[in-house]
Amino acid sequence: MSQSGEKSILERIASGDQQAVSDCLDRYGRLVWFLATRYNKRHADAEDATQEIFMEIWKNSGRFQSTLGSEETFITMIARRRLIDRCRRASVQPETMQLTADDAELSDLYVEDQAELTDEAMKASECLRKLSEEQHQVITLSIQQGVSHDGISRKLGMPLGTVKSYARRALLQLRDCMSRTVMVLNAAEGNVR
Amino acid sequence: MTPNDDLSSKRERELLAGFVLGDLSAEELQEFSESNEIRRQEDDLFRLEQTAAAVLLVNRMKTTDDMPASLRRRIQTQAEPQLQLNATAESRTDINISPRTLPDRRLSTREVFAWFVAAASLLVACSLWFSNGATSSAVSLAQARDALKRQASDLIEVAWAPGTSPFKEKVAGDVVWSNLGQNGFMRFVGMPVNDPTVEQYQLWIIDPERDDEPIDGGVFDITSTDECLVEINAKLRVDRPVAFAVTIEKPGGVVVSTQERLPLLASVK
């Protein structure tokens, strides 16, 4: 429950509030649909994936705890994992829209207003800036654009092994950087035990 | 820590990151599954999943399309029975099927995939989040099953019958399932207890409209010959099931069953 005592959408879903389903679709429907279409070229597959993701959300809503992260992150985790599992089951890499040579730069044109980002996304944004140029490029294409590592290898003319290595190390560095950021923020707020 | 320990943990971290990114090769998956260390890495796995989700949210497009109205309506309709269940059981902590434990023996690549799809996906990825959500108001499987039977407008209820390789003694029980809710339960009475280190039961849902291959309904163990309830954990959306079948498989289950040992079958009329 939030500090104001008001129940979050997921908490309302967990308690069986049917109106919360509409609220959830209003707030997060576009996000899930965007992710589903990013990972599925065929419209019907994207629809199936979206249905599966929301079913997981309804089922797991009772497990959400706002102290561990935002609703948006919780929903994105469920969506991303479900989409990757679907791809793995189908033994295909995520199929994405055709990218141009300037994708990484172009994507900045569509960035959410920074003020609208969740705390976790703000931290991630800061930590992304600390990566090397190659790592930044690879992880952005991999996670944000949904391009397979094969696709990144072709696009950047980099050996596949190098792409994998950059992507994995970038994710680990981001995780460490985000953990440090949390510690610094806690220290600043006097929350360190 | 020795230099070898350091190298080993560095490799495991790399494999964890590869798993979260969805880029492990078949050989790496095998290596990943055989690492004892991995069983202690759920916390790391959760943090990496959370990091990936946060990175994804940094740059998502502002102007994306709404989902089709017909899809939204279907999702809302599908949500109703689940929300009714949620209302009955505000916390479903103990009625979510337990994630499969990683079997002790060596696994084939296909089995590794099966395990990852089932266990290392949502439940393990979100385990930290989830485990902290435990409350004391959990309802029992029996209550959840009763609620489904009372509330699902499209309830399918079919009794178990002997399959192609039946048990020596008759096993009673049934399957209840809701397509709208995409959930259901199996009930067994007199089912032989299995040794999970040797073999496990696996449910298959036959849905020709959805797929030629049966849908994996989850691996489970039977610990008593008294009445046992097991929640169905379908790995794909089920559209129109025509039968539910229980097979006996290697620990961890399989991706595609040979159906050599199929003791129970419940056909939808």
Averaged pLDDT of chain B: 74
And the tokens for B269? Answer: 């009329």
27-86 of B, contacting A, C-beta below 8 A:
44, 47-68, 71-72, 74-76, 78-80, 82-86
**Chain B contacts of A110, Cβ < 8 Å?**
59, 61-63
Do A109 and A140 share a domain, yes or no?
A: yes
- Residue A156 lies in domain: 99-193
Point out which residues pair with B201 in neighbouring strands.
B220, B248
Strands B161-162 and B264-267: antiparallel
Do A87 and A114 share a domain, yes or no?
A: no
Closest partner residue to A88 (CB to CB) among B22, B58, B92 is B22
User: Which pLDDT score is estimated for A185?
Assistant: 52
Say which CATH number the domain at A35 has.
1.10.1740.10
Asked whether the predicted pLDDT for residue A101 surpasses 80, the reply is no
- ipTM, 2 dp: 0.81
CB A86 within 8 A of CB A79: no
Asked whether the predicted pLDDT for residue B112 surpasses 70, the reply is no
Do A120 and A181 share a domain, yes or no?
A: yes
Last-in-domain residue among A73, A95, A117: A95
User: Which pLDDT score is estimated for A1?
Assistant: 53
* A65-93 per-position pLDDT tens digit: 777 778 898 899 889 888 887 776 665 44
**Chain A contacts of B235, Cβ < 8 Å?**
89
Mean pLDDT of the B248-267 span? 86
Higher pLDDT, B120 or B151: B151
Do A60 and A126 share a domain, yes or no?
A: no
Do A46 and A132 share a domain, yes or no?
A: no
Mean pLDDT of the A5-23 span? 90
User: Which pLDDT score is estimated for A182?
Assistant: 56
Among A25-34, A179-188, B14-23, B153-162, which is the least confidently predicted range? A179-188
Do A3 and A91 share a domain, yes or no?
A: yes
Nearest-neighbour CA in chain A from B159: distance (Å): 26
Do A78 and A19 share a domain, yes or no?
A: yes
Do A8 and A37 share a domain, yes or no?
A: yes
And the tokens for B163? Answer: 């399959």
Q: Do B57 and A87 touch (CB under 8 A)?
A: no
Percent of the residues in chain A that have a pLDDT greater than 90, as a whole number: 37
Do A4 and A63 share a domain, yes or no?
A: yes
Higher pLDDT, B106 or B256: B256
Closest CA to B55 of A146, A115, A8, A163: A146
* B18-43 per-position pLDDT tens digit: 888 888 887 787 777 666 666 566 67
Cβ burial of A75 (10 Å; 0-12, 13-18, 19+) is buried
Do A105 and A70 share a domain, yes or no?
A: no
Closest partner residue to A59 (CB to CB) among B49, B62, B82 is B82
Last-in-domain residue among A69, A95, A121: A95
Number of domains in chain A: 2
How far, in Å, are A63, B19, B27, B46, B249 from residue B121 at the CA level? 15, 10, 19, 10, 21
Last-in-domain residue among A95, A115, A149: A95
Q: Do B50 and A77 touch (CB under 8 A)?
A: yes
Radius of gyration in angstroms for the set of CA atoms belonging to chain B, rounded to a whole number: 20
User: Which pLDDT score is estimated for B130?
Assistant: 39
Do A5 and A61 share a domain, yes or no?
A: yes
Angle, helices B109-118 vs B26-33, to 10°: value is 70
